[in-house]
Structure formats: C-alpha cells, structure tokens
C-alpha cells in the first residue's frame, strides 16, 4: 500500500541552525513527491515538488529512491519557517499526505 510517513510530530530548531524534516514513503511505481506547508492562519499550499528540483524559500528536498526518502532541508532556519509541513505522494489522480510535522523555530 502507498504510504507517507513523517516520524516527527514536532521539531524545534534554533534560528540559524540547519533544518531537516524527515519523510519516508512506500510506493511500487515511480513516485511523485511534494512538500506542502501551512503557516499559522493560512491555507495549505504547495512548497515544492521533487520533479522541479527547485529551492523554495531556501528549502530543498532530494528524492532518495534507495532509502525511499524525501527529506526537506534548509541550511539556516528563519523564524518565518515556523509552520506545519506535510510530505505528500501523488498516486494516480490523488495525493496522499503524511500526518505532518510542526516546525517550531526558536529565537
């Protein structure tokens, strides 16, 4: 069964420190993976997708098929990064979300 696992419910990181939000997936085909973000009092929105190999707001994520992982990273955390982050997998015409990790940036 296709599944997305985010092992951490909460991650607290000091401002300026590196951030890594973990995501593992199980999928039998070639996965399309994404990170969605929800800032306080805002709607859920797409942050980045693995196909684009882009850096958004300083965040990057590399698909590691050997480890079936798609961890989200940023070298230097900023206070405005505090949010809920969801890793997601596209299967057919649907998106399967992980349970999310709340990132709290400490001043």
Query: Is position 53 an interface residue for other proteins (rule: CB under 8 A)?
Result: no
Q: How many residues does the chain have?
A: 107
Nearest-approach distance from CB 55 to other proteins, in angstroms:
17
C-beta closer to other proteins: residue 17 or 46: 46
CA gap 37, 45 in Å, rounded: 6
Query: Is position 29 an interface residue for other proteins (rule: CB under 8 A)?
Result: no
Stretch that binds other proteins, among 20-28, 59-67, 70-78, 93-101 (CB under 8 A): 93-101
Stretch that binds other proteins, among 18-26, 56-64, 68-76, 96-104 (CB under 8 A): 96-104
Instruction: Give the containing element (helix H, strand E) for 98.
Output: none
CA gap 27, 4 in Å, rounded: 9
Q: Count of residues binding other proteins (CB under 8 A)?
A: 22
Instruction: Give the containing element (helix H, strand E) for 1.
Output: none
Sign of the torsion formed by the C-alpha atoms of 62, 53, 86 and 80: positive
* Footprint of other proteins (CB under 8 A): 4, 9, 32, 34, 42-46, 49, 51, 86, 90, 92-100
């Amino acid at each position: 069964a296709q599944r997305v696992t985010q092992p951490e419910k909460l991650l607290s990181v000091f401002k300026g420190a590196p951030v890594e939000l973990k995501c593992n997936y199980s999928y039998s085909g070639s996965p399309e993976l994404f990170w969605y973000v929800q800032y306080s009092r805002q709607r859920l929105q797409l942050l980045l997708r693995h196909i684009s190999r882009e850096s958004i707001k300083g965040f990057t994520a590399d698909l590691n098929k050997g480890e079936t992982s798609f961890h989200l990273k940023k070298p230097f955390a900023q206070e405005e990064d505090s949010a809920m982050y969801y890793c997601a997998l596209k299967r057919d015409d649907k998106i399967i979300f992980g349970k999310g990790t709340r990132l709290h940036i400490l001043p």
